[in-house]
């Protein structure tokens, strides 16, 4: 289960380490995708639109915690690569206290501001009540999301990507069973779908916490490790805050796009909610490969093996490109069958909009695959601010062009979809130019 990424064949090590992360995050998508599938088939179009639109909001909220955990995970990986157990344990204590406090704060804020949030998202009145009911329950899972992501990043920092996968697999299967029980059998509607998701999230989050305490005692801070050390806290804050802002900016941009999509009505909302799930599944593996690549770079950066990092970059680019091209071909060719998994055949308008989305965006997954590698690299070499800049370029372009192009009657909603790959390309170009300029200094 443990992979030392500072030794051995680079491509094999990266793939063995990345594969459980890929599978795990694909399972994690089941939390919302299964809701979407069952809700779409058993509760109808309005419920589908409400649950699907909630996905963008929850992705934005949890991205704050995910970014903080990922940034802290880089610090853990660097200390692990240096074999500095004292700083590692202290950083674990400091990061847990900081991110746990933020998770509690976010939970309080969203419950207090649920109605203003729904108004900001321009939710149509016909689905307002359904979406509010769903969100009120799903917000209780924010703390579970923190627990799972924190301990997943901790275990992955030392090369263990299998245990998080196991717990997530158990949780995903449980989520499917509870969805069928609460929605189909007990007829609890969208609230039942949310309840199934929250229970499953706590199984994975609390389960991973208990497992780490029992079987990875070397990560448990002792009394002498539980103190505030300014230099370690400063490094954690630098890495995690930049990564958090990057994740938040990325998902806030998506949230703004969701608001624009909502303005086109429930048909486009429903199509977008389904297509974006398929889209997430399609490029999730290259995103996870970028995160695995980040751990690889961070461990070797801590160990001072910079030539190995150079070799790893070449290997990662080849692997990501080949995978992305293959997935693009599958999504473009099978766009309609993929939509039909979630949408009934008689919903012709929803199908047509969703198919168009998938064929436009799905043709360019190699661009986002390269972008995820850039994110992971700059985060690992202690330059998370560059990842943030690239995110601003990508999302800023996407949001601006989405509003501009969709306002043109001849282009319409297709302008929202076309804005995405343009943003990816501009961010890739900027990131590559910066990497070339700073390559000698960094490596």
Mean pLDDT of successive 10-residue stretches along the chain, which has 443 residues: 73 85 72 68 75 76 84 84 82 90 94 89 81 91 93 85 86 87 86 89 93 83 78 81 74 75 83 84 87 88 86 93 94 92 85 92 93 92 86 87 86 88 94 89 72
Between CA 323 and CA 22 the distance in angstroms is 12
Between CA 17 and CA 156 the distance in angstroms is 9
pLDDT score for 311:
92
Closest CA to 378 of 369, 365, 390: 390
Q: What is the number of other CB atoms lying within 10 angstroms of the CB of residue 307?
A: 10
In the chain, where the domains are located: 10-442
Q: Quick one: CA dihedral 316, 275, 53, 250, positive or negative?
A: positive
Cβ atoms of residues 145 and 205 within 8 Å:
yes
pLDDT score for 271:
86
Provide CB contacts within 8 A for 412, sequence distance 6+.
Answer: 406
Cβ atoms of residues 412 and 406 within 8 Å:
yes
pLDDT score for 333:
94
- In whole angstroms, how far apart are CA 71 and each of 91, 163, 441? 12, 20, 22
Hunting for tokens 């009911």 — which residue is that? 133
Between CA 414 and CA 25 the distance in angstroms is 29
pLDDT score for 202:
95
What is the pTM for the complete model shown? 0.75
pLDDT score for 35:
65
β-partners of residue 160 are 2
Token representation of residue 273:
């909610």
Residue 160, phi then psi, degrees to nearest 5:
-105, 100
pLDDT score for 322:
94
**Where do runs of H (alpha helix) occur along 263-383?**
266-303, 306-333, 335-340, 348-361, 365-380
Q: Is 420 helix (H, G, I), strand (E, B) or coil?
A: helix
Token representation of residue 393:
């370029």
- What is the CA 312 to chain-centroid distance, rounded? 23
Token representation of residue 330:
């599958």
Opening angle at CA 176, ends 173 and 179, nearest 5 = 145
pLDDT score for 29:
66
Closest CA to 356 of 438, 433, 414, 279: 414
Q: What is the number of other CB atoms lying within 10 angstroms of the CB of residue 362?
A: 25
Do you know the residue count of the chain?
443
pLDDT score for 150:
93
Provide CB contacts within 8 A for 119, sequence distance 6+.
Answer: none
Between CA 421 and CA 253 the distance in angstroms is 14
Closest CA to 243 of 121, 125, 379: 379
């Amino acid at each position: 289960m443990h992979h030392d990424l500072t030794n051995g064949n680079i491509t094999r090590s990266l793939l063995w380490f990345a594969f459980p992360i890929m599978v795990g995050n694909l399972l994690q998508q089941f939390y919302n995708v299964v809701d979407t599938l069952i809700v779409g088939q058993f509760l109808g179009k309005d419920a589908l639109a409400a649950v699907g639109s909630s996905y963008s909001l929850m992705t934005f909220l949890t991205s704050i915690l995910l970014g903080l955990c990922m940034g802290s995970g880089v610090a853990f990986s660097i200390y692990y690569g240096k074999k500095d157990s004292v700083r590692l344990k202290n950083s674990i204590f400091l990061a847990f206290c900081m991110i746990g406090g933020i998770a509690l704060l976010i939970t309080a804020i969203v419950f207090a501001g649920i109605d203003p949030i729904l108004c900001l998202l321009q939710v149509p009145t016909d689905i307002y009540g359904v979406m509010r009911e769903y969100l009120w329950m799903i917000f209780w899972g924010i703390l579970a999301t923190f627990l799972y992501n924190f301990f997943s990043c901790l275990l992955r920092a030392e090369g263990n990507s299998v245990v998080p996968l196991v717990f997530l697999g158990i949780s995903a299967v449980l989520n499917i069973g509870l969805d069928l029980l609460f929605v189909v059998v007990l007829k609890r509607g969208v609230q039942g779908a949310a309840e199934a998701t929250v229970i499953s999230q706590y199984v994975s989050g609390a389960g991973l916490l208990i497992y780490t305490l029992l079987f990875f005692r070397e990560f448990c801070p002792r009394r002498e490790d539980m103190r505030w050390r300014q230099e370690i806290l400063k490094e954690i804050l630098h890495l995690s805050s930049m990564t958090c802002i990057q994740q938040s900016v990325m998902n806030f941009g998506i949230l703004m796009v969701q608001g624009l999509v909502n303005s086109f009505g429930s048909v486009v909302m429903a199509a977008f909610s389904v297509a974006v799930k398929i889209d997430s599944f399609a490029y999730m593996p290259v995103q996870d490969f970028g995160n695995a690549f980040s751990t690889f770079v961070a461990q070797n950066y801590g160990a001072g093996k910079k030539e190995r990092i150079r070799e790893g970059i070449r290997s990662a680019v080849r692997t990501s490109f080949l995978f992305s091209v293959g997935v693009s071909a599958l999504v473009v060719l099978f766009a309609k069958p993929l939509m039909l998994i979630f949408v009934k055949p008689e919903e012709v308008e929803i199908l047509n909009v969703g198919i168009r989305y998938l064929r436009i965006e799905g043709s360019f997954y190699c661009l986002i695959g390269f972008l995820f590698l850039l994110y992971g690299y700059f985060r690992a070499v202690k330059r998370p601010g560059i990842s943030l800049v690239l995110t601003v370029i990508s999302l800023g372009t996407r949001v601006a062009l989405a509003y501009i192009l969709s306002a043109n009657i001849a282009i319409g909603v297709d302008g929202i979809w076309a804005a995405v790959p343009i943003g990816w390309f501009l961010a890739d170009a900027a990131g590559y130019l910066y990497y070339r300029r700073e390559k000698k200094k960094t490596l």
